[in-house]
Amino acid sequence: MKDKSSSVQFWLVLICLLSTGIFLIRITGPTDLESYAQEQNVGYLLDLMTQGHWLVQHDLENTMMTRPPLHTWLLALFTALFGLKRLSLALPSFLSLLALGLIVFEAGRRRFGEMAGGLAAIAFVLSPTMAKQVALVGSEPVFTLTVTIAALAAFSAWEQGKDGKKGWLLFCFMAALVTLINGLPSVALATGGLFSYFWEKRSNPDQPAPGGPHLAGIALFLVLTLGWFVAASISQGQALIGTMFYTGLIGDTVSAYRDGWQASDLFKPTFVLLVRYLPFSLPFLIAVWRVFRHPASDPGERRFERFLTCWILFGLLVLSLARQQHADHLLPLWPACALLAGRELARLAERIGKTRFAGIAVVIGAILIGSTYAAVNSTSTSVTTHIKPGEGSDYAREMKLAGEAKLAAEAFIASGLDANRLHHIDTPVTLQLYLGSFRPFIKRTQLEQILAAASTPVDVALGKTGIEELGLAERYPSTRRIFRWPADESFPAVFQVYRISP
């Protein structure tokens, strides 16, 4: 019993160390907040933190959110605790993926054995895409955590039958959180595994159907989701209803509403899943084949492997029909994939010997961690050197811009100028994160209206756009530049401020 407890502690410590190590590699590298659409989440957070808009947020383009705000609320909580900085914004993703690794281990340990559970957690934590997600200011990791807890709660409640009331209530609660993060259609990803009931019924005609305290669960779900939606609708009116329903619900549900849909789109998510999660997608593929050809003899194990398979296949079907297909949307399927892959890896370890398998695993793990470290450091080197316009990858230029925006904000704050006086045209989004301001971008026509109505000087903040392109200097001769970063004129301007006197 003592050895068993020690081995469990070993896996728990290993999972925590690997997750934390990858996070530290990423968070100590150059900031990437101008990449992967993180700037939109930054805008929502700034709107909430500086303007107090808790129910509905807009980004810096002044566009209303198309998804509920639970992820933004989490960002606000961590920001309130640790300050408005990149670490605070990345902590929800890190903690979500760490929790997922521990949940995958526990679920695998209980259903497939300790070795399978540990290897499943390693397959989850060390999969290449986690190096991106672990420090990302995005909702995917938190969303994946809620989907996974909801799915496993539903399976546990289904197994327990009449004694599964608490499990169904937990499922409904987590389904509400899923909805408050990514919208109502996303609940489908948490329920796909229950289709295995029809599969199981072929083997066991007496298999009970999933059931539970549906009335109490539905009431809990509606209170949480409609509570926010009604309050937000009162605040925003028809604009919110149109954005959430037509854009978020109908617009993103199926590709039949999308122009230019092709049959090849059906296979794209499956292909991306296999490629982005190498090398662990290979044992997963073998595991799925084994589920169909050689199902487990133990009824409980067979039921769980079929549940995981239906979770994955139904999820792939939903994502294949989705209006917008993105590789990150596959993340909620990977916990189930990792569990199947972990069992297959455990079988391989038994076949070739645990000592030999451990040696191979250490080498593969070192390669994966080393490649993450090398990628971060090579990017760091490119960011510290000057990249001319048109040179380098888009990602390198975005990293460079994010780093320069931080330095520009620090220099601006040191100058003593007021960030809340600025009217931004095309400055970096993360500039306002470090300035702690929320000033939505304006267009040239809006600037003209502001100048026409102004009785005091107007401060205009520019990024890549030059003052000459606006054609204002000729009409307002007293226009003068009051700030530039970098101050060295030999480098392209990242951030300039002009004071225009009407």
**Residue 477 and residue 400 in one domain:** yes
As a whole number, mean pLDDT of residues 414-439 equals: 88
Predicted pLDDT of residue 118: 93
Predicted pLDDT of residue 253: 46
- 391 within some domain: no
**Least confidently predicted of 171-185, 247-261, 326-340:** 247-261
Predicted pLDDT of residue 262: 64
**Entry field: residues in the chain:** 502
**Residue from 99, 163, 140 nearest 107 by CA:** 99
**Residue 73 and residue 190 in one domain:** yes
Last residue of a domain, one of 315, 342, 373: 373
Three-class SS state of 337: helix
What's the pLDDT band for 256 if we cut at 50, 70, 90?
A: very low
The domain total for the chain is 2
**Residue 350 and residue 415 in one domain:** no
**Residue 215 and residue 284 in one domain:** yes
**Residue 155 and residue 250 in one domain:** yes
Peptide bond into 486 cis (omega under 30): yes
**Residue 179 and residue 145 in one domain:** yes
**Residue 281 and residue 416 in one domain:** no
**Residue 354 and residue 423 in one domain:** no
What's the pLDDT band for 251 if we cut at 50, 70, 90?
A: very low
Last residue of a domain, one of 338, 373, 408: 373
- 58 within some domain: no
Predicted pLDDT of residue 379: 59
* Model confidence at 54: pLDDT above 80: yes
> For the chain, what percent of residues have pLDDT higher than 90?
29
Q: Find residue 462's DSSP bridge partners.
A: 496
What's the pLDDT band for 212 if we cut at 50, 70, 90?
A: low
**For residue 70, what are the CA distances in angstroms to 229, 236, 297, 345, 401?**
12, 17, 42, 36, 29
* Model confidence at 206: pLDDT above 80: no
C-alpha 250: how far from chain center: 22
**Least confidently predicted of 50-54, 205-209, 438-442:** 205-209
- 383 within some domain: no
**For residue 475, what are the CA distances in angstroms to 426, 457, 464, 468, 469?**
21, 14, 21, 11, 13
Interstrand relation of 422-424 and 458-462 (parallel, antiparallel or unpaired): parallel
- 163 within some domain: yes
Q: Check: CB of residue 423 under 8 Å from CB of residue 460.
A: yes
Helix (H), strand (E) at residue 498: strand 495-500
* Distance in angstroms (rounded) separating the CA atoms of residues 243 and 248: 7
* Distance in angstroms (rounded) separating the CA atoms of residues 175 and 172: 5
**Residue 286 and residue 420 in one domain:** no
* Model confidence at 385: pLDDT above 60: no
**Whole-structure pTM value:** 0.88
Residues in contact with 49: Cβ distance below 8 Å, sequence separation at least 6, in sequence order? 76, 79, 84, 438
* Distance in angstroms (rounded) separating the CA atoms of residues 10 and 18: 12
Last residue of a domain, one of 373, 407, 433: 373
Tokens of 41: 């989440």
Predicted pLDDT of residue 490: 81
**Residue from 196, 171, 168 nearest 315 by CA:** 196
As a whole number, mean pLDDT of residues 293-303 equals: 88
Long-range contact list for 470-479, CB < 8 A, 24+ apart? Answer: 470/425, 470/444, 472/447, 472/498, 472/500, 476/451, 476/500, 476/501, 476/502
What's the pLDDT band for 239 if we cut at 50, 70, 90?
A: confident
- 38 within some domain: no
- Amino acid in position 413: I
As a whole number, mean pLDDT of residues 318-330 equals: 76
**Residue 20 and residue 85 in one domain:** yes
Three-class SS state of 120: helix
* Distance in angstroms (rounded) separating the CA atoms of residues 428 and 461: 10
Residues in contact with 357: Cβ distance below 8 Å, sequence separation at least 6, in sequence order? 345, 348, 349
Q: Find residue 496's DSSP bridge partners.
A: 462, 484
**Residue 332 and residue 442 in one domain:** no
For 13-37, give one letter per residue: b (16+ CB within 10 A) or e: ebbeebbeebbebbbebbbbbbbbe
Q: What is the DSSP string of 312-324?
A: HHHHHHHHHS-SS
* Model confidence at 448: pLDDT above 90: no
- 494 within some domain: yes
Predicted pLDDT of residue 258: 47
**Least confidently predicted of 319-323, 331-335, 429-433:** 319-323
Which residues span the domain enclosing 139?
Answer: 2-30+66-373
**Residue from 495, 449, 457, 497 nearest 476 by CA:** 457
pLDDT tens for 161-199 read 777 678 888 999 999 999 999 888 788 888 888 888 888
Burial-class residue 130 by CB neighbours within 10 Å (0-12, 13-18, 19+): buried
Q: For tokens 């496993």, what's the residue?
A: 152
What's the pLDDT band for 122 if we cut at 50, 70, 90?
A: very high
- 386 within some domain: no
- Amino acid in position 428: P
As a whole number, mean pLDDT of residues 313-333 equals: 81
* Model confidence at 475: pLDDT above 80: no
Q: Find residue 481's DSSP bridge partners.
A: 498
pLDDT tens for 227-238 read 988 888 888 777
Q: Check: CB of residue 304 under 8 Å from CB of residue 155.
A: yes
- Alpha carbon distance, N-terminus to C-terminus of the chain: 81
Predicted pLDDT of residue 79: 93
Q: Check: CB of residue 55 under 8 Å from CB of residue 422.
A: no
- 37 within some domain: no
**Residue 351 and residue 404 in one domain:** no
Predicted pLDDT of residue 167: 83
* Model confidence at 348: pLDDT above 60: yes
* Model confidence at 487: pLDDT above 60: yes
